[in-house]
C-alpha cells in the first residue's frame, strides 16, 4: 500500500515538482532563460488517447517574442504536442523548437515536427 501511495503521489506531482525539487542546478545556468510549464493531456488516465486535449492552465506563460523550447516526455499520437505547439503559436513567440525524450515509432494521428529526439 505504501509503495502504491508513493507512486500515485509521484505521478500526480509531475515534471514541475521534480524540477522544483531537483532542478536547482538547472536554475544556476548563467543564461538569460526562463523556465515555465504548460500542462496538457489527451489520455486522461486511459491507455489510448481520446483525441481531445485538455489544458490545465487558464493562461499561457508570456512567450511573446521569445525563443521557446518545448520539452515533452513521450511523443505518441501527436495530439497533445500538436495542440501545445498550436496554442503557443497564438502567443507570437519568436521561434518554437520541440524536444521529445522518446518518440514512439508508429503512425501518428497528428503530424509533429521535432527538432531534438532522445530515443
Catalytic center residues:
76
C-alpha cell of residue 31: 543564461
C-alpha cell of residue 4: 502504491
Contact 114, 72 (CB under 8 A): no
Q: Is the dihedral of CA 80, 40, 118, 88 positive or negative?
A: positive
Contact 25, 35 (CB under 8 A): no
Contact 69, 85 (CB under 8 A): no
Task: Residue 99: name the closest of 86, 87, 81 by CA.
Answer: 81
Amino acid at each position: 500500500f505504501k509503495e502504491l501511495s508513493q507512486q500515485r503521489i509521484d505521478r500526480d506531482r509531475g515534471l514541475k515538482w521534480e524540477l522544483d525539487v531537483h532542478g536547482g542546478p538547472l536554475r544556476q545556468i548563467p543564461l538569460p532563460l526562463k523556465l515555465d510549464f504548460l500542462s496538457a493531456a489527451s489520455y486522461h488516465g486511459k491507455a489510448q488517447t481520446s483525441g481531445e486535449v485538455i489544458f490545465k492552465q487558464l493562461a499561457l506563460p508570456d512567450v511573446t517574442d521569445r525563443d521557446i523550447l518545448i520539452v515533452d516526455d513521450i511523443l505518441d499520437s501527436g495530439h497533445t504536442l500538436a495542440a501545445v505547439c498550436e496554442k503557443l503559436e497564438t502567443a507570437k513567440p519568436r521561434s518554437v523548437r520541440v524536444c521529445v525524450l522518446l518518440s514512439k515509432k508508429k503512425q501518428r494521428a497528428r503530424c509533429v515536427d521535432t527538432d531534438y529526439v532522445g530515443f
